Amino acid sequence: MTLSTAPTEMSNDFTQDHYTLFGLPRRYAIDPAELERLYREVLTRVHPDKHISRSDAEQRLAMQWSTQANEAYQTLRRPLQRAQYLLHLAGIDVQLESNTAMPTEFLAQQMEWREAVEETSSAGDIRALEQMRRRIEQEMSEQYRQLEIQLDVEPDHLAACATVRQMMFQEKLLHEIDDALETLEA
């Protein structure tokens, strides 16, 4: 690892948003194939491997551009991150909204899930854990449809924010299941 204190200033506008970078409209609905095509198109031009025998400045630029393109692609291709990012562009920080109350019903269900994960993982039931994983994913795909309505069709940022926050719980649960599976399989 190397350390330096002087980040090089470049004239490139690295503050441009992820949608602008790929020339895409700011919406939740995205064609994944088209996004991937644009990403590859950009990366083919800017990847450091394509600038290896060029000037130092060009190599540095290539790294910064690729970094930006990777970040933009990774954010836009994942629906939950994309929704969060759209809200961020609209001036809403999902993380900061965490003091708003969640529906009791939802929280109760989360508690139930969490207990179930704990029980099945201590029982060592890999199959049950995998089943649970699929059920959560199913539920999430329903929530993704909701997000499309809340963000694109009849924009309601606060409702979208609530959905995103619920989904963050779900995603965390998925991670916990993965961790449990990992421990069981090791």
Stretch that binds another protein, among 37-45, 81-89, 112-120, 156-164 (CB under 8 A): 37-45
In order, the DSSP letters of 94-150 are TTGGGGSPPPHHHHHHHHHHHHHHHHHHHHT-HHHHHHHHHHHHHHHHHHHHHHHII
- Applying the rule CB under 8 A, the residues between 47 and 106 that interact with another protein are 47-50, 52-58, 61-63, 65-67, 70-71, 73-74
Instruction: Kindly state the helix (H) or strand (E) to which residue 161 belongs, with its residue range.
Output: helix 157-185
Q: In the structure encoding, which two tokens stand for residue 85, read together?
A: 């990012």
Asked if residue 122 binds another protein (CB under 8 A), the reply is no
Asked if residue 186 binds another protein (CB under 8 A), the reply is yes
Residue 19: closest CA among 53, 42, 47: 42
CA 128, 133, 136, 142 torsion: positive or negative?
negative
Asked if residue 131 binds another protein (CB under 8 A), the reply is no
Q: How far is the CB of 37 from another protein (least distance, A)?
A: 9
Q: In the structure encoding, which two tokens stand for residue 81, read together?
A: 């991150």
Can you tell me which of 104, 107, 167, 182 binds another protein, judged by CB under 8 A? 182
Residues that bind another protein (CB under 8 A): 1-7, 10-12, 22-25, 34, 38, 40-50, 52-58, 61-63, 65-67, 70-71, 73-74, 178, 181-182, 185-186
